[in-house]
Amino acid sequence: MQVSDNHLQAKRYLDSLDTLGYDELADAMTYKWFRLNVMYHIKNKPGKKVLFQPNQEQEDFYCGQHNRDIILKARQLGFTTFKMISDLDDCLFIENFSAGCICHNMDSAKDIFRNKIKFAYNNIAEEQRLLISEIGYDIPTPTSDKGNAYVFSNGSSIKVGTSYRGDTLQSLHVSEFGKICKKYPDKATEIVTGAFESVPADGGIITLESTAEGKEGYFFKYCTEAKRLNDLNKTLSVLDFKFHFFSWWLRPEYSIDGEISPALIKYFDELEAKHGIALSDGQKAWYSAKWKVLGDDMRREYPSTPKEAFEQSIEGAYYANQFLDIYKDGRILDISGYDNQGNVHVQSDIGVGDSTALWFYRLVGKEVHILHYHSNSGEGLGYYLKHIEEKMLKMKWKIGKIYGPHDMNNREFGSNAKTRKQLASEGVEYMGKTYRANFEIVPKLGIDDGIQLVRTLLPRCVFDESCSEGILALESYKKQWNDKLGCWRDTPLHDWASDGADSFRYLAVTENKRSSATTARRMIV
């Protein structure tokens, strides 16, 4: 989408604002970018009325807008404020323009409407209204301001809420979409299937903005795909999201006189060496001061790179601390060909349900090398036996033990009352070939105890980089959110991440049993 007016001409007018005559001012008011800089007021952080003037990040976004935009950002860059002022301006100067904003809760929705949209409209100066009349246009008046919404006399409207299903929208803004995806996945689905469909592909605008909230949900998915298209320099269709990233170090005010934490020197050096981000001493001091308060949450709240933003642990995740250490230690790398002499074991959750996850791993000293992850659903036992055999042959791995959960000892109807363990041992035909495997059964253990064993095992684990899907499942495995009480439940959320996490929990039980047996033998000797 091209910017609707001549941005350069508007800037020329702004550069000579103090010397413009009345006729020039009247002409300048025909340019949206000019109006955005001189016409609207907002409340600043202390609550004082100030003129709204877009910052550099907002201007860069304005000039680079597409039909579909996704903004990954640091905190407090004001993109929701900018979009609300921009959409309000469109409502005032375009007939029958409909704009909507979705927030993660109603308190935020009320605040945005009252302190950004309504405040901006009510504080348009009378002299500016007169200037606009000189170009033959009168600012429309609200015919309704109920329910956090304005309906204007020119047929335009702007509404802020927690969801949207209704008439066509020309512009939809979703504030803190990552937070919605994290805590309210059903609401996120409703937004994608409902609100998105209210915006026409031809000329409609969808803007998603958020800080990163973990590697889960639509926001992470859309960011990943949009960044991939950006990195490949692909031409975007009207339905593709354009990726925008705005970091903390772009803001000039994020710089102070102060001490630089010695613990962050390596981090700052890596930013410059790997990413070309050369920070000033003032910026390093500011980051150090914020880091003392926020700790590892800095990566989410004030990311330096897109990748870093999503490396932050997921709130409510069971293994958050463990994965922070895994990333810090660099224990995700290419290890597929390392020490290829040891046996490779397989842990599965075959027998638990329709979906199945496999973990391939090797014991190297005290370390557990996680070599491969595979998951699928809607397939029978033969499919997974085939995958195990073919993967071992392809990688030239020596097959070790194959583990399955206690459910494999349950008898199945329609199979002559045989267990899955028996079926696998006798052979299962799949795609014209018979596959066999002798499963060892993992003892049953409570979920809470199993989770604790995983926490104990993860510090010993090194992951092959090909296991990204499985790693994501482990990172995303989290507690259920109690919306009514506003807290996390003590039970796991059953979602897409559960299968990989459940299988890995069995792996932890297996290795705990093996380690205990080894210790017992040593004590006897």
CA proximity to 121, closest of 100, 136, 107, 140: 140
Q: What is the mean pLDDT of residues 366-377?
A: 94
Domain CATH for 339: 3.30.420.280
| Residue 415 predicted with pLDDT over 60 | no
Q: What is the mean pLDDT of residues 59-65?
A: 93
**Within a domain: 79:** yes
Q: What is the pLDDT of residue 353?
A: 59
| Residue 421 predicted with pLDDT over 50 | yes
Domain range for 26: 7-246
Q: What is the mean pLDDT of residues 335-354?
A: 79
Query: Could you report the per-residue pLDDT of 245-272, keeping only the tens digit for each?
Result: 999 998 888 999 999 999 899 889 989 9
**Within a domain: 325:** no
Same domain, 306 and 211: no
Same domain, 208 and 286: no
Number of residues that make up the chain: 525
**Within a domain: 317:** no
CA proximity to 70, closest of 163, 181, 168: 181
| Residue 385 predicted with pLDDT over 70 | yes
Same domain, 158 and 269: no
- Dist CA 315 CA 481 (whole Å): 10
Q: What share of the chain is helix, strand, coil (3-state, %, to 5)?
A: 45, 20, 35
Provide the percentage of residues in the chain whose pLDDT is more than 70: 92
Domain CATH for 77: 3.40.50.300
Q: Of the residues 246, 279, 296, which one is the last residue of a structural domain?
A: 246
Same domain, 283 and 370: no
**Within a domain: 269:** yes
CA proximity to 508, closest of 335, 349, 307: 349
**Within a domain: 327:** no
Same domain, 302 and 422: no
* Residue 387 · residue 330 · CB < 8 Å: no
Q: What is the mean pLDDT of residues 19-40?
A: 92
CA proximity to 361, closest of 321, 323, 402: 402
Same domain, 301 and 352: no
**Within a domain: 237:** yes
Same domain, 421 and 515: yes
Query: Could you report the per-residue pLDDT of 483-521, keeping only the tens digit for each?
Result: 666 667 778 888 888 899 999 999 999 998 877 655 545
Q: Of the residues 312, 347, 365, which one is the last residue of a structural domain?
A: 312
Query: Could you report the per-residue pLDDT of 449-482, keeping only the tens digit for each?
Result: 999 999 999 999 999 999 989 998 998 888 887 6
**Within a domain: 139:** yes
Provide the percentage of residues in the chain whose pLDDT is more than 90: 58
**For residue 378, is it left (φ>0), alpha (ψ between -120 and 50) or beta?**
left
Q: Of the residues 246, 264, 296, which one is the last residue of a structural domain?
A: 246
Q: Across 83-97, 156-170, 419-433, 475-489, which has the greatest mean pLDDT?
A: 83-97
Same domain, 76 and 203: yes
**Within a domain: 211:** yes
Same domain, 280 and 372: no
Same domain, 38 and 183: yes
Query: Could you report the per-residue pLDDT of 350-361, keeping only the tens digit for each?
Result: 865 578 999 999
CA proximity to 244, closest of 223, 220, 219: 223
Q: What is the mean pLDDT of residues 220-239?
A: 92
Same domain, 447 and 479: yes
Q: What is the pLDDT of residue 486?
A: 65
Same domain, 445 and 369: yes
How many domains, the chain? 3
Mean pLDDT taken over the chain: 88
Query: Could you report the per-residue pLDDT of 137-168, keeping only the tens digit for each?
Result: 889 999 988 889 999 999 999 999 988 877 89
